[in-house]
Structure 1
Amino acid sequence: MTELKQEFWTRIKDARAGMLGIKGQGRLVAMSPQIDDRLPGDIWFITAKGTDLARGVEAGAQAAQLVIADEGAGLYADIDGSLAMSHDPKVLEEVWNFAADAWFENGKDDPDVRLLRFTPGSAEISVTSTSGVKFLYEITKATLTGAEPDVGAQGAVVF
């Protein structure tokens, strides 16, 4: 499953959105995952002061869930981990983007900006072909030869 874990880290860089929530709150919200290559192993999110996620981790790290279903990245994952507030300005600088800029009047210096760090613990992951042509080829080949199509991989991963 080491290959699947590596494939996860490669593909999540292309994932545009996921659903993130604190366990026990019963609600996941759409968030845009960000990766800082200098700090492998964590997934970063930018949110605002006063959101359920920001309030939920004010007192410390909480058990959390991240769900990714991104056809473009060919990544589908249900990830359990922990969510915590971060005050690292270097990470904020690295993960800041034009989309985040649109939400905050004073950009990354806005006093309402909150940086969240999600640290994966375990996950069920599926990776699929990101090419419709390759998928069609594999299905056609399998139909003609009776072989199983190579359309990706799935499995449980511990980070």
Structure 2
Amino acid sequence: MTDHEEQADRFWDRLEKVNSGMLGLVEAPRLVPMSHYADREGRALWFITAKGTDLVQAVAGGGKPALHAVADESGGLFARLDGTLALSDDRAKLDELWNSVASAWFEEGKQDPDLQLMRLDLAGAEIWLTGGSMRFLYEIAKSKVTGAKPDMGEHFALSF
């Protein structure tokens, strides 16, 4: 396995444990909190949202460059994900993703007329992997005792 493949695996393993991030378009960098669903094989993130949102309206005419920022201190993942955000009518994917969290937002369930599925096809990512919050505290304490700089983990970029 190459370094790139190992880094990608570590990234996806951690991302799959994170529930949300901040999503927005590159042209209008207003980020909003969104729950994402990681699709490792499809190299994409999926979002279940409402048709009336600004993001849905902005990509109604076709996909646009977007970014999704993730910060999970306890899991040791910080990432900026770039790609193309577009609407999707993939009912099979919606069936696969549907859960109790999504159902809390839509009174009529998967049939709710306001429900919209979006897909972020990933192009690249800048990623920082750390040992998590306990490791951070250890590294800071160790640096105070030894005078050495703390080891904050890995930083790398991926192309998809």
TM-score relative to the length of structure 1? 0.86
Correspondence list, 1:39-118, <5 A: 39-118=41-120
CA distance in structure 2 between the partners assigned to 1:101 and 1:6 by the alignment: 30
**Alpha carbons 2:69, 2:80 under 8 Å: kept:** yes
Which amino acid is 2:159 matched to?
V
Partner SS, residue 30 of structure 2: coil
Deviation at 1:147, TM superposition (A): 6.5
Partner SS, residue 8 of structure 1: helix
- Alignment coverage as a number of residue pairs: 157
Match of 2:20 among 17, 20, 25: 17
Counting aligned pairs with the same residue, the percent is 47
CA distance in structure 2 between the partners assigned to 1:116 and 1:149 by the alignment: 40
Deviation at 1:73, TM superposition (A): 2.5
Deviation at 1:31, TM superposition (A): 0.3
**Structure 1 residue aligned with 2:31:** 28
**Alpha carbons 2:79, 2:126 under 8 Å: kept:** yes
Deviation track 1:96-130 (CA, whole Å, cap 9, x = no partner) reads 22221111001121111111101111121101113
Which amino acid is 1:12 matched to?
L
CA distance in structure 2 between the partners assigned to 1:68 and 1:131 by the alignment: 15
Pick which of 15-24 and 135-144 moved more.
135-144
CA distance in structure 1 between the partners assigned to 2:27 and 2:85 by the alignment: 13
CA distance in structure 1 between the partners assigned to 2:132 and 2:137 by the alignment: 11
**Structure 1 residue aligned with 2:9:** 6
Which amino acid is 1:95 matched to?
L
**Structure 2 residue aligned with 1:156:** 157
Coordinate RMSD, CA, aligned: 2.0
Deviation track 1:55-107 (CA, whole Å, cap 9, x = no partner) reads 11211111111111111321111121100111111111111222211110011
Match of 2:125 among 109, 112, 123: 123
TM-score relative to the length of structure 2? 0.86
Instruction: Point out where structure 1 has 5 or more consecutive residues left out of the alignment.
Output: none
Deviation track 1:22-43 (CA, whole Å, cap 9, x = no partner) reads 1212311100111246x43111
Deviation at 1:19, TM superposition (A): 0.6
Pick which of 41-50 and 8-17 moved more.
8-17
Which amino acid is 1:74 matched to?
G
